[in-house]
A and B are shown apart, each in its own frame.
Chain A
Amino acid sequence: MTIADSILEARNLKVIRGGSLLVDVPALKIREGETLSLIGPNGAGKTTLLQALSFLMRPSAGDILFRGEKVGAEYATLEYRRKLAMVFQEPLLFDTTVFENVASGLKIRGLGTGMVKQVVNEQLNRFGIGHLGDRSARTLSGGEAQRTSLARAFAIKPEILFLDEPFASLDPPTREAIIVDLEKAIAETGTTTAIATHDRNEALRLSDRIAMMDGGKIVQIGSPSDVMNRPVDEGVAAFVGIETILRGRVREKHAGSILVDVNGKEIEVVADADAGTDVTLCIRPENVTLSLSPPASVISARNIFPGRVSRITPLGLVVKVEIACGFPLVAYVTGNAAEDLNLREGKEVTALFKATAIHVCQKISR
């Protein structure tokens, strides 16, 4: 056995079904103890990749290495499956009591009743369903059912936990409560976790690393702040919530910053690119400030554009304001700020953003 720096590794992994390439991952390493999120739109291949990694779906090509050993060859498939656990979007409980559901993985492994009882009770309490042990799984609410499913997964003390959109069918308060418990369970047990989700906020709070998938490929993998703030292309940028994505051409290069021409307007960006290069600018809506009049004196924001409010959309905690200032720009302001500024469609405002608040992707499109 070779000493592996990763608990799980995929090499040249391909899943082809019905003639179409669903997953194409040349290399992926999951580190021991980390939580890796697979994010991406529906149909990006997140679920398929999880199923291939867990060997629930046989890959069409490539290898899965568990602690450096090839699954299906050096490492028996069943043996491998008994090292992992999987929780799906649907709880998929068995038609029996909550206790028996949580015990099922242990019973499949042939564990004695005394041992089973202790482990199951431990997990029931961990997920706050200790009082539901004798209840029939048929009578559970959605949240209770998913807690049971999670307890069942943790009961077998998996070395890798796969979660496939585990919260997608839950209402927000229930989801929030379960995420808190799951975070705690992962931290306490140190379980290596791979979670597929289309919710970037879920990914942000749970992960050590995020892998953005699209069209069956991992288009970017990195720390949450990397993926959120420095997307490699427009597709990732749009998915991670960057509302303003502008294409332009570098006009001048200065020491430490560049001037980018967007629709004839000049935007100053702290970045490095040669004049004449086509670039994409990404501006997070929370980094744009609005003012009713141009600043009276010199301020630190390098980019100041007068414009007109073209649309206002309340989003709950914040208000999304779209501004036409020679190019479309989106700003998030608080409800109070929107009131104080008396924002309405057609109103003239000045938008300000710092040269450091802009991320540049050189790769225009894929």
Chain B
Amino acid sequence: MDIILEGIRKAFILLFTFDPEVLGITWFSLKVSGTATFISLFIGMSVGTVVALTQFPGRRFVVSLINTGMALPPVVVGLFVTIFLWRNGPLGFMEILYTPAAMIIAQAIIATPIVTGISLAAMQQLPKKLRLQILALGATRLQMVRILIREARLPLLAAVMAGFGGVISEVGASIMVGGNIKGYTRVLTTATVMETSRGNFDIAIALGIILLILAYMINLVLTQIQQRERPR
């Protein structure tokens, strides 16, 4: 019990004295996961919107693929990204394994299906007739898509949050393709794993608290969105 209390006490000291190492790791984590989420947003929202608004043969299959992708195990993504970026792998010439770029790629692959799936659902939950109403108001196809995205903005924000939440808390792929190099590819989760294995519970708890705060903020926003009503 003492270990935990002592750990928590030291953790708060680290947090409130703005320990440079803790701060650096946090900032780097936000940068990597933020960039990965941004990339996934671009791909996921486009694909999600197109799949939601069009009918084509094999659509069900594509939707089930996206939904499966939402539960993609990060270690599997890590494994394949590692193989592809390995020195003599297909993309080995790029020489980016164990760099932040490799982490961003892996995290973007994890986040994209999540963002796609939630965007798809967000666009589909809009009333079907809303599209007709927008067209009847004289909109072009492009104007219609813009208005639909604006109408689904809150659930789409949920997609962003879920994507970000998925990658900021992910450890498997980051450690595999990033290598947890101090000051270079070390993020909140990989650092927590390492510090715990070393018995440095104070730092591990401090990092854990930061992760919890991030998770809490994400869920706070998601809950707000869920509780909102749609107009008639």
Name the residue on A nearest B132 (C-beta): A56
Name the residue on A nearest B131 (C-beta): A56
- Asked if A6 CB lies within 8 Å of chain B CBs, one says no
Bound Cα distance A23, B138 (Å): 24
Name the residue on A nearest B232 (C-beta): A145
- Asked if A84 CB lies within 8 Å of chain B CBs, one says yes
- Identify which of residues 94-121 in chain A touch chain B, using a CB-to-CB cut-off of 8 Å: 94-95, 104-105, 108-109
- Interface size class of chain B, counting residues whose CB lies under 8 Å from the partner chain: 20 to 34
What 1/0 flags go to A45-85 for Cβ under 8 Å of B?
00000010010100000000000000000000010011011
- Whether A95 contacts B143 in the complex (CB less than 8 A), given A82-B138, A85-B137, comes out as no
Q: Is B231 a contact partner of A140 (Cβ separation < 8 A)?
A: yes
Q: Is A88 a contact partner of B129 (Cβ separation < 8 A)?
A: yes
Q: Which residues of A contact B130 (CB under 8 A)?
A: 92
Q: Is the interface of B mostly helix, strand, loop or mixed?
A: helix
Name the residue on A nearest B138 (C-beta): A82
B54 to chain A, nearest CB (A): 15
- Whether A152 contacts B137 in the complex (CB less than 8 A), given A56-B132, A93-B231, A93-B232, comes out as yes
Q: Which residues of A contact B151 (CB under 8 A)?
A: 94-95
Q: Which residues of A contact B145 (CB under 8 A)?
A: none
Number of A-B pairs, beta carbon distance below 8 Å: 67
- Whether A108 contacts B232 in the complex (CB less than 8 A), given A86-B132, A92-B129, comes out as no
Q: Is B231 a contact partner of A56 (Cβ separation < 8 A)?
A: no
- Asked if A90 CB lies within 8 Å of chain B CBs, one says yes
Q: Which residues of A contact B94 (CB under 8 A)?
A: none
Q: Is B136 a contact partner of A54 (Cβ separation < 8 A)?
A: yes
Pick the contact of B232: A91, A104, A109 (CB < 8 A): A91
Q: Is B137 a contact partner of A104 (Cβ separation < 8 A)?
A: yes
- Asked if A138 CB lies within 8 Å of chain B CBs, one says yes
What 1/0 flags go to B204-232 for Cβ under 8 Å of A?
00000000000000000000000011111
Q: Which residues of A contact B (CB under 8 A)?
A: 51, 54, 56, 78, 81-82, 84-86, 88, 90-95, 104-105, 108-109, 136-138, 140, 142, 145, 152, 156, 162
9 further A-B contacts with Cβ under 8 Å, apart from A90-B127, A93-B232, A162-B136, are A51-B132, A78-B140, A86-B132, A92-B232, A95-B151, A95-B153, A105-B137, A105-B138, A156-B138
Between A and B, 29 residue pairs with Cβ closer than 8 Å are A56-B132, A56-B135, A81-B138, A85-B136, A85-B137, A86-B132, A86-B133, A86-B136, A90-B127, A90-B129, A91-B231, A91-B232, A92-B129, A92-B133, A94-B231, A95-B150, A95-B151, A95-B231, A104-B137, A108-B143, A109-B138, A138-B228, A138-B231, A142-B232, A145-B231, A145-B232, A152-B137, A156-B138, A162-B136
